[in-house]
Amino acid sequence: MILASKSPRRKEILNQLGFQLEIKVKDVEEVSSKIELTDKIKDISYKKVVEVAKENRTSFVVGADTLVEINGEVLGKPNDETEAREMLKKLSGKEHRVITAYTLINLEKNINISEAVESKVFFKTISNDEIDWYIESREPMDKAGAYGIQGLGAIFVDKIEGDFFSIMGFPINHFVKTLKKLGIDIKDIQKI
């Protein structure tokens, strides 16, 4: 299977289950004209995957995209430390949504699926010292919303409602259910 993503988290999640992955990515502008956030993130996920699938028509190609939303504002990856600090302050003491969309395409088999999984994350109130410490770790710099739930950012999370792995970047449970609907059993995943 081809993973159309450079995300080490997505690769790790899929590898843990036994997927044999080849990484291939295309530069795609991450924009969408869709209105609803869920549709927007599914569209961006699709665009990333379809470009790789066009050059690998017989392969299963999977990819994903994640966004963090609070009070109608989408928080992408921070461009610098100042932006990371602003994002973490916005999330401090509040609830936000994390939506991860994944796309699975195999052009030869006429498979084209895009799904989205939404979860809620509740942050504790974060002190300025904690924000400084976290930014110094460099962890927030390549993550939507400026935090990683699977790393040091876990200390900010009071609770979640939803799928941990979706918040991490790939809803593996949901994905395996999708494969099962396609007739691909868990024991066969190394073959795709």
Cα dist from 160 to 75, 118, 154, whole Å? 18, 11, 11
The catalytic position among 43, 65, 80, 129 is 65
* H or E element, residue 120: strand 111-123
DSSP reduced 3-state for 172: helix
Could you tell me if 105 and 61 are in contact, meaning their C-beta atoms sit under 8 angstroms apart? yes
* Triad 110, 112, 113: Cα angle to 5°: 145
Separation of alpha carbons 192 and 182, rounded Å: 12
Look up 142 and say whether it is catalytic.
no
Nearest CA-CA partner of 34 in 7, 67, 1, 2: 67
**Which positions are catalytic?**
65
